[in-house]
Amino acid sequence: MFVSKTTTNNRNSALLKRTNSNLDTSQLMRRAEDLVSAASNRYRITVQVATRAQRRRFEEFDSIDDPKMKPVIRAIIEMSDELTQPEIIGE
């Protein structure tokens, strides 16, 4: 899977717009449930979310994109967006 730099930037700007409008807990829970229900293995998707969150935490340690958003929440949002909007993922 290859994600281009512009796709990543577009996704991050959309993420920031969404987080500024206060992502509520029920929407976050719905996204997490959608991820788990779409996965064939609950354990594997949980590990994938945790791995992405950890990777993003270390990659953007110096970045000040949105210090209020925890990496695991950002990972859930990104992965659910990839699930519902497959056009944001490049070949």
For residue 91, give the DSSP letter. -
Whether the pLDDT of residue 1 is over 80: the answer is no
Please report whether residue 18 resides in a domain.
no
- When comparing pLDDT for 25 and 13, which is higher? 25
The pLDDT value recorded for residue 20 is 45
- When comparing pLDDT for 43 and 1, which is higher? 43
Please report whether residue 12 resides in a domain.
no
Whether the pLDDT of residue 90 is over 70: the answer is no
What total number of domains does the chain contain?
A: 1
Which helix (H) or strand (E) is 81 found in, with range?
helix 71-84
Dihedral angle over CA of 59, 3, 52, 32, nearest 10: 140
Task: Identify the domain containing residue 32 by its residue range.
Answer: 25-85
Q: Whole-model pTM? A: 0.65
